[in-house]
Structure 1
Amino acid sequence: MDDRVILHCDCNGFYASVECALNPAYRSVPMAVCGDPESRHGVILAKNELAKAFGVQTAETVWQARRKCPELVLAPAHHKKYREFSEAVNAIYCQYTDLVEPFSIDESWLDVTGSRTLFGSGVQIANELRRRVKKETDLTISVGVSFNKIFAKLGSDYKKPDATTLITRENYRQILWPLSVGSMIYVGKVAAEKLSRAGIDTIGQLAQADEALIERLLGKAGMAVQLYARGEDEEPVRPAGAEREVKSVGNGITFRRNLEGEEDVRAGLLMLCDTVAARLRRYGLCCQTVQVQIKSPQFKVISRQRQLERGTDLSRELFAASMELVRQNWDLRAPIRMLTVTAAGLGGKDSGEQLSLFADQAVLAQREKQRQLETAMDRVRSKYGERALSFASLLKTDIVSKSQGEKLRVEGSEGPDSPAGPPEQ
């Protein structure tokens, strides 16, 4: 049986490339797209090749970037435009196969196994896509071509910008195994450090390591990553428009100032639990587990979770569980830079109502009343905007800016669990 032919297409410096397409003057100067320079969200989101030559890096602060490149030109982010360009690029992909699975706003997998009789080999299709994307959108893409999704992604990362890399069963050990283990998808910084302390620094060493050792270091997630390193990834590319199974719903935010004391922490958690609960109700889901991640100003991170007595989609119950986790695991006198709340162990709404036959009817009635209230809030916000209703205790808080509050409402994370932790937003 012939191998599948999978492409991973990655737009190069996507945000910066879109800004350059919209404003060609940016092409001749070192430029970067950044968050608000006046807040702690003033970080580099993307940079063009000229800025990259100065050593400007994604995720560093604006002041760090300007120390490297005093002439750096900063452009604000235009997320609506990025979505429009992403849709245009994916529309091109869909002309070659209906198996197009976006991985993020600027990355997609394509299964072109059945497209070769019409459009040629995987490499030929990749080169044609690069040509068309550049001509029709003024963006460039790098493409990995391989027999599975993970190696295709590693291939698109291997050579940038505007390149095609072929990873085969015959060459993957020579090309991929010498790479840093941190290059592997789903191997985050913490996992890479654990592996390095065990003497595992490359993808090849990960592939050949003792399985019991990997499970001991990284758990079941590590075992999956080891299979990926060996080329044993059989996950299919989902058809265009197919919905992923939602396994967790979360939201996190870096606050405009450190949270100091219980009142600040309560406000931060309430904002997050409100948005997470609203998303659960939108999906018709309840969660059985709540996880809270806390990041200090020194970037120390702890993550704790607890099982709930019953499934819930109510912000009040998520907040109560989250606040209890913080009290049990954090000194409320210590400042907090970032909070993330994640609902996991998801199931249908019925899972939230599996109460004992002897449960207090007053409790049942109170929960139903709370659900009606929060559902009514959902309807008002849907009709009049997310800012139409808020909790009274949040009206005077200054822990988020107006733009952060709006972003908190429209952005979050829903999707399969992964070994990597949630990004700092």
Structure 2
Amino acid sequence: MTLQTIREARSLKVNEGRTLLDNAQRENRSLTAEESAKFDAIKGAITDLEQQEQRQQFMDDADRRSIGTPITGNTDTLPELEKRASLLAVVRAGMEGRALTGADAEVHAELERRHGKAKHGGILVPLSAFEKRQNMTTTAPELVATQHRADQYIGPLRDSVLVQRLGVRTLSGLTGNVSIPKAGTGLSVGWVEEGQALPESEMDFESVSLTPHHVGGITEMSRQLIQQSSPAIEDLVRQDLSWAIAHAVDKAIIAGTGTGGQPLGIINRTGVQEAELPETWADVLAIEQMLAAVNINPTGWYTSPGVLTALRGILKAATAGSEYIATAGRIGDLPAATSNAAPVDTAILGDWSQVLLGQWGAVEILVNPYAETPYRRGGVLVRAMSTVDVAVRHEQAFVVATKGP
């Protein structure tokens, strides 16, 4: 018997015993002689299953120690192991309650060595595990022979995850709080007559800080989905888990409140420039000029589809042959990214390389096959958690345009 099978049998016995007690309590009576004998038998079965679980857990751990060897010296081999690691195999191991083996075990052991042990028995996987692999591309792979086609998988309608593609700088592998020096007021210069002293000044320095903030997502997956070995299914699991975290990080970069565990987003930062949503070509140019005045070369706009659609219907000038302010992918001469995750009636123009996304350690995967509702359906809950923070090098590198009163 596998560890998963033993735990499921134990769970059934616990539910059976609880039903006996609940029935007696509901009727405000003690257990009958027959019920007492049945309860004692259930109790003995639970005790026996617990002992089996301990023995099986010991053997699984022994297997892991013999197969998975932690990396201790040659860090160059970790990227190669990551290529062979399977996120789906990690989820499947958590679902079945067994230890990792092979490359998955080695990567987990190395990440624990670098970043500390996972909480609550979770499994550590590298951030790269959420990236789509080129060798996963297949032609019409099947989920279950002749019945399900992975290339025809219909996913949920989701907001676009775009912010991190706009050029945000990512700092990975952080440990502890991070402080990045930032120049404040600079050197003063001036013209002087012959023999006069030059003006004196002192360099003033500030800092940009990154502190850990925890983000996570929980998704339900069917037992059958996780047990498939198709490469396309591996892609689906990666996409589902990565989107859950990436979507939350995207929203935090833009509108994080800085409270309730959230990082502080761009629109809530002191020092960010403000304007009204552009309604004319002159308004667009005025916003671009606000950034030019502080020596910022903007890399693109980020806004909602509604704002972009409105700008696509406005001409630059009321003359024959005039172009529209925006197209499907640009506002003026600059790229425009749109998502329903963007704040309503808001458009942001800026240099997105000024945003720093700090990442601590690896992503922790924890599988719960016993959550009541998914359990009844034969499904499992999979939780992915990561630790990140957002910082902005120069707040004035962004103009947040909102709808006027």
- TM-score bucket of the superposed structures, by smaller chain: under 0.3
Query: Which structure is higher in RCO with an 8 Å CA cutoff and minimum separation 6?
Result: 2
Q: TM-score, normalised by structure 2?
A: 0.26
In our comparison, the structure showing a higher alpha carbon Rg is 2
Tell me the TM-score normalized by structure 1.
0.25
